Amino acid sequence: MTQSFDVETFIQARKRTRVISDLLRTKASDHLSTLAPLVRPQPLFGEYLQGAPRGSGRESQHHFKAFRTLFDKHAGAQPFNLMNELDIPLNVTSSTPALFALEYDLALTSDERISVSSPVRWVVGYASFEPSRFREVIGDPNRSSAELQRFLVHYLMLFHCFSKAEGLGRLLRDLRFPISFQRLEGFGDLPFCIMGSPIDAILPDESIIRQSTEISGSQSFEELIDEDALDTMQDDLREQLLVAMRDMPPKT
């Protein structure tokens, strides 16, 4: 969308984006819910997790040591600056994965920034641990160290479980909702699990963004899905089959 701002065209683009995004998010949530048992921390951590049944002693110890190393790496660093040590057993109050809006800041000028959200990518977190609240806790000068640690433990736990789930990444990629690990602004080097989708969204020209926010009076904007997005969708399996056919040896 590089043309001049046209209200009717913009409204149609927003409607198209919302319809497609809602459908994609529903499918992504369904996949995540179905596969949730594969990333539950209880089987990995056993007695190191509060309320979990006893697991394989050596394997549980291995996962806890790896998690403690991960926690120590991030807890004392910016922007968390936590001095607390991990309590055993770990108190993970939620182990149900959920999808949250992926948001980032966009600088329009040196002193004007807006919040941009993606309609086709989401942060994977645990229920009741929204990234927006996590950001608020980090930025609060009177924050509770205990609450900050709970957020950090839950997001690191999710990262650990996803990174240890063999084959899950390939499965989600085949389902067209790939998982990647990404750092987000304001959270230091903390790795977040990001779920994508088979369609990309774009930011229009800054003049359109500026006029939209001026009209709405809001300092937020959502990326838009292009009207040709469905026509240009990639089918990885189809492409692999076509390549396999092309690579077949010629008839003798």
pTM for this entry: 0.90
Q: Which of 229, 232, 173 is nearest to 202 (CA)?
A: 229
Q: What is the C-alpha to C-alpha distance for residues 28 and 216, in angstroms, rounded to an integer?
A: 29
pLDDT for residue 250 is more than 90? no
Mean pLDDT calculated for residue range 215-240:
88
Q: Is 105 helix (H, G, I), strand (E, B) or coil?
A: strand
Core vs surface per residue 194-218: b (16+ CB within 10 A) or e: bbbbbbebeebeeebbbbbbeeeee
Query: Can you give the pLDDT at residue 56?
Result: 66
Measured distance CA(33)–CA(172) in Å, rounded: 12
pLDDT above 60: residue 207? yes
CB 149 within 8 A of CB 82: yes
Q: First vs last Cα of the chain: how many Å apart?
A: 52
pLDDT band at 95 (very low <50, low <70, confident <90, very high): confident
Q: pLDDT tens, 21-50?
A: 999 999 999 999 999 999 999 999 998 998
Mean pLDDT (the chain) is 91
If you average pLDDT over residues 207-221, what whole number do you get?
88
What was the pLDDT predicted at 155? Answer: 98
